[in-house]
Every structure is written in structure tokens, then in C-alpha cells.
Structure 1
């Protein structure tokens, strides 16, 4: 596996990987209408472009060196809160799950967090998303929960999770 820092030319690839992942991960959790709304808002060219312009926000593409294919991506923001990096996005296409890419991407993130002076990773995960089990297997724990209004009558009903970096 190789992580490659994304640039604006990679926005269409990020959008495609997000859609492929979401259609699998959220099919039984979100309505089609909410999924389309969230993808169009969170993964618009403008939104991703703004993230890429932010000095603390990073996207990395996850590439399978064995076959040269892109299997997913990770997006995170250092110093989101004092001492904390927020993992905004980590998605893998369905056929790549269970191959260690997610674990390696989190290990990469933890190294980057430590190098940038933060000591904690935080993230939100949908309460019905099996990804919670993955995060817990990697040492994350639920510290709170929240319901977040995202517009058009839709909400995100999430667990808030954290991982503490021990330098």
C-alpha cells in the first residue's frame, strides 16, 4: 500500500471513490435522497478544493501497489481543536475492505498527528455504521455522541470517537 498526497487534479477520483464507498457503507443506513445530498455537499469540487487549500487539511489517496489501483482515501485536519487532529474521512471501496488498508492508513495518520504536535485523533461515525467496530479494534473509544443538523431536514446521528497518541 502507498499513500499519495492528493491535489486538485485528484478531485474527480476522490469523488468517485467516495460514491463507490458510500453506496456500499450507507445503503442500509441512509435514504438515497440523504446520501445524494451529503455526497453533493461534502464532495463537491468546491468543497474538496477548499479543503486542499487549507494548510492543515490533507487528503491522501490509498493505492494498492500490487495492482496499481486506488482503493480509497483519507482526509484529516491537524489542530481542528487544541491538541487534536480530526479524521474527517477515511473510505475504502468495498472490494478492498479486510486487506489491511484501513489499518495502515490509521497508522500513517497517527504518525502524521504526532509529527504535527497533536496528541489526539477525533472522528464522528454514524451510530449504525459497522466502521465503529473497526475503529474500536484499532484502539479508538467512544467519548460522546451527537445529532448534527446538516440541512434539508437531514441529520447525522453519530458517535464521537477518539484515539490518544502516546509519544
Structure 2
């Protein structure tokens, strides 16, 4: 597996991977209308471009070095809060799950967070998303929960999770 820093030219690929992974991850959790709304808002070209222009926000493409295919991506922001990196997004296409890509991407993130001297990684995960089990298997713990209004009459009902970086 390789993690390749994303650039503006990767925006269509990020959008495609998000759509492919969301269809699987959220089919039983979110309505089609909410998925379409969130994808159009969170993965618009303007939104991703604004992330890429932020020096603390990084996207990496997850590539299978056996066949060169792109299996997913990770997006995170250093210094989101004092001493804290926020994992905004990590998604794999359905056929890539269970092959170690997610675990390797989180280990990569741990290294990047330590390099940037943050001590904590936080993320939100939908309360009904099985990904919570994956994060817990990697040492993340629930520290809270929240319901977040995302517009258009939709909310995100999430657990807040954290991982503490030990030196």
C-alpha cells in the first residue's frame, strides 16, 4: 500500500471514491436524500479545493501497490484544536475493506500527527456505523456524542472518538 499526497487534480477521484464508499457505508443508516445532500456539500470541488489550500489540511490517496488501483483516501487537519488533529474522513471502497488498508492509513496518520507535535486525534463516527468497532480496535475511545445540524433539515448523530498519541 502507498499513501500519495492528493492535489487539485485528484478531486474527481476523491469524489468518485467517496460516492462509492458512502453507498456501502451508509445505505442502511442515511436516506438517499441525506447521502446526496452530504456528498454534494462535503465533496464539492470548491469544498475539497478549500481544504487543499489549507496548510494544515491534508488528503492522501490510498493506493494498492500490487495493482495500482486507488482503494480510498484519508483527510485530516493538524492543529484543529490545541494539540489535536481531526480525522475528518477516511473511506475505502467496499471491495478493499478487511485488507489492512484502513489500519495502515491510521498508522500513517499517527506518524504524521506525532511529526506535527499534536498529542491527540479526534473524529466523529455515526452512532450506527460499524466503523466504530474498527476505530475501537485501533485504540480509539468514545469521549462524547453529539447531534449536529448540517442544513437542509438533516443532522449527523455521532459519537466523538479520540486516540491519544504516546511518545
Report matched runs for 1:89-104 at 5 Å: 89-104=89-104
Structure 1: unaligned runs, 5 residues or longer: none
Q: Summarize deviations over 1:35-79 as a string: whole Å, max 9, x none.
A: 000000000000000000000000000000001100000000000
Residue correspondences, number: 167
Q: Summarize deviations over 1:99-134 as a string: whole Å, max 9, x none.
A: 000000000000000000100000000000000000
Provide the rounded CA distance (Å) in 1 between the counterparts of 2:120 and 2:106: 12
Provide the rounded CA distance (Å) in 2 between the counterparts of 1:112 and 1:46: 25
Provide the rounded CA distance (Å) in 2 between the counterparts of 1:54 and 1:79: 11
Provide the rounded CA distance (Å) in 1 between the counterparts of 2:23 and 2:148: 21
Tell me the TM-score normalised to structure 2 length: 1.00
Partner of 1:37 in structure 2?
Answer: 37
Distance apart, 1:94 and its partner CA: 0.1
Q: Which runs of 4+ in 1 moved over 4 A?
A: none
Partner of 1:61 in structure 2?
Answer: 61
Provide the rounded CA distance (Å) in 2 between the counterparts of 1:107 and 1:147: 28
RMSD: 0.2
Tell me the TM-score normalised to structure 1 length: 1.00
Partner of 2:132 in structure 1?
Answer: 132
